[in-house]
Structure 1
Amino acid sequence: MDWQAWHRQYDDPDSALSRRLEAVQAQIRDALDRAPAGPVPVIKLCAGQGRDILGVLEDHARHVDVRGRLVELDPELAANARARAPEQVEVITGDASLTDHYDGMVPAELVLLCGIFGNITNEDIERTIAGCPQLCRTGATVIWTRQRNDPDLVPAICDWFEQRGFERVWLSDPHAGFGVGVHRFTGEPEPLVKGQSLFSFVPGGT
């Protein structure tokens, strides 16, 4: 996959990716609005250029409270995110599937799993969701994406979250041309198990 070319779709305001970005950013704003007073830890797996969270932090009232960590394997994409990130947001060039990268930043208030579920196996999606209680504090928001092509896995993804102590907050319209989901963690955080790999990208993902 040419991830540089993939990200250039954001430059077309009419692309499905741009419309998905707008939906994700709206949900990030809502999540920051309802976050409790005090520091707001945020983690983003497979961060790419970080356009979603970094775009929101440019003007959101809670930007001063956010403490973020973005993890991206591609050095060029990570450098792009790092150039845009405010001082309190760290960008790590590394494998975002490894739990070690989130040590010291979890449990987080906002967990971003965007651009992942269309590029990993169903088993790894379920494994990643099962690991989310290690990443989330009680009341945390998880925002995730997955295309709605047949066979549509979004209903199963919602079930997997809800079986792990998450309640559904919002789900994009099935006919929007993209899939964005938001779940809130109602359970108790689990200790972070370091040394775990939650997923592996597979060829041909979308």
Structure 2
Amino acid sequence: MDWQKWHDRYDDPSSWVARRLVAVDARIRAVLDSSPPGPLRVVSLCAGQGRDLLGVLVDHPRRDDVRARLVELDPRNTAAAQEFARAAGLDQVEVVTGDASLVDHYSDLAPADLVLICGVFGNIRDADIERTVEACTSLCATGGTVVWTRNRLAPDRVPQICDWFESRGFERLWLSDAKETYGVGAHRFGGVQQPLTVGAQMFTFVGYDVLRK
């Protein structure tokens, strides 16, 4: 899979990718709008070109309150994210080229007020999805929010993902319509934040094209 070329789908407003982005952006804005005054910490796993978070921050009143770290393995995508952040004057956004599954990338920003896991759950196996949800009890601050995505193709794992979050102290804030081919969810953590396990790996990125086969 060419993950740089994959991002070209965002340029077609009618594509499911573009429609999903609109839903994700709305959840990000809702978190920023409802957060109390003061600094906000955001981490984004497998961030790609960062079109979701960066696209919201560029004109959001809370942009200067946000310290964010975007972690993405493809250097072409991180270069695009870095260029956008610089052009927008988002100096508190850090873009890291690296393996987003490694919790050490987030150790100094966890627990975060907003955790973005978009474009991940459809590309990893079920056991790794649950392991990543479990890790969110360390990555996400109490009162913080996880925004996540997963396709609705059979077998539809969205209900199970909701169950995994909710069994770990997360409250469902919003879930996209089941009629869509994509799923977008937002869960707020109401439990006790757990220590981050240094050196842990949350998942192995397999790719949806491989998983379908």
- TM-score interval w.r.t. the shorter chain? over 0.9
Residues 1:177 and 2:189 aligned together: no
Report the residue type matching 1:16 in the other structure.
W
- Counterpart CA distance in 2 for 1:42 and 1:198 is 18
Report the residue type matching 1:106 in the other structure.
A
**What is the CA-CA distance between 1:202 and the residue it aligns to?**
1.2
User: Normalised by the size of structure 1, how large is the TM-score?
Assistant: 0.98
Match of 2:22 in 1: 22
Report the residue type matching 1:2 in the other structure.
D
Q: Could you tell me the percent identity over the aligned residues?
A: 61
**What is the CA-CA distance between 1:103 and the residue it aligns to?**
1.4
**What is the CA-CA distance between 1:191 and the residue it aligns to?**
1.3
Match of 1:91 among 95, 102, 107: 95
Match of 1:56 in 2: 56
Report the residue type matching 2:56 in the other structure.
V
Structure in which a larger fraction of residues adopt helix:
2
> Which aligned pairs between 1:1-206 and structure 2 lie closer than 5 A?
1-85=1-85, 86-203=90-207, 204=209, 205=211
Gaps of 5+ in 1: none
State the Cα deviation string for residues 118-157 of structure 1 (Å, max 9, x = none): 0000000000001101101111010000011111110000
**What is the CA-CA distance between 1:69 and the residue it aligns to?**
0.4
Gaps of 5+ in 2: none
- Counterpart CA distance in 2 for 1:202 and 1:131 is 19
**What is the CA-CA distance between 1:177 and the residue it aligns to?**
2.4
- Counterpart CA distance in 2 for 1:197 and 1:61 is 35
- Counterpart CA distance in 2 for 1:47 and 1:13 is 20
- Counterpart CA distance in 2 for 1:167 and 1:201 is 27
- Counterpart CA distance in 2 for 1:161 and 1:122 is 13
Stretches of 4+ moved more than 4 A in 1? none
**Partner secondary structure for residue 182 of structure 1:** strand
